[in-house]
Structure 1
């Protein structure tokens, strides 16, 4: 079995940079990001720049919750990622990373071909969000290994709290991040 991805310098640097903004939610979110990255790697071979793209999409995909202060976080998360890419001379990745972020909560297959990072990222996030009820071919042993290394640390409870707050404050938009 392939070794888990446990340390990514750019990703960890971003978490360090925004530690104050994440506060006590940093460990749950960081572990979620590492779980998603490892779940993508469990679905397909990563080649070329795939891992760095996953680092960046992973960090930013839900970051709008904390960095933009909204539960309708897909557009601000994608904007933050594209701004980061522009600042670091990675504009050529913008379309793909934007798609990874805005489509990661799609209930149906992404608009991208099945073998792309976009679709693998969407499936990985759903595997983690569903606590492994959805597995998209990832075997249980690998899923358990990923979850042991990067425990939930209250991530799903955090999501439930955010969802409850959204339901109370905007009942007409209970889950603004979901897409068909």
Structure 2
């Protein structure tokens, strides 16, 4: 099934204040993990253990976090997992967001100073139901970072470095569903 519609849904948020922006006027950031839900790439799953195949392509526009050399150095220096989800997990652990705020700010500046990309996600995974005798609609999603600066500008950021971690399935309420055999790809 093909889908060109991307609906962003809130996941969580971190504030990064007084980041000391370099090269731009932004000095603080609000960072949200978002799920870009592909409308039309869904299937019905009924009962615990039942699986449904989710397959289709979704296009998106975003800035590539992977284009930031500071982000690439941070991944190596701080052992940050790949993709948006790895970076989001690292940001939320302990005081990483406040301790490394100037590096994070620099990574965001580098990403938004590169060209915005038009990419696509090719979903290829299986979603599993969780509750016996209860049917849910499983929809494919891709994780994005939505970064808002103190000037009111909002930027969506994506990564292609760990598509299996940055894609998955959720039910109609936005709750993550177990997924397996995730061979999805993110192309930017």
User: Which structure exhibits the higher relative contact order, with contacts defined as CA atoms closer than 8 Å and separated by 6 or more residues?
Assistant: 2
- The answer to which structure has the higher helix fraction is 1
The higher radius of gyration belongs to 2
TM-score, length basis structure 2: 0.27
Determine which structure has the larger strand proportion and give its number: 2
TM-score, reference length from structure 1: 0.27
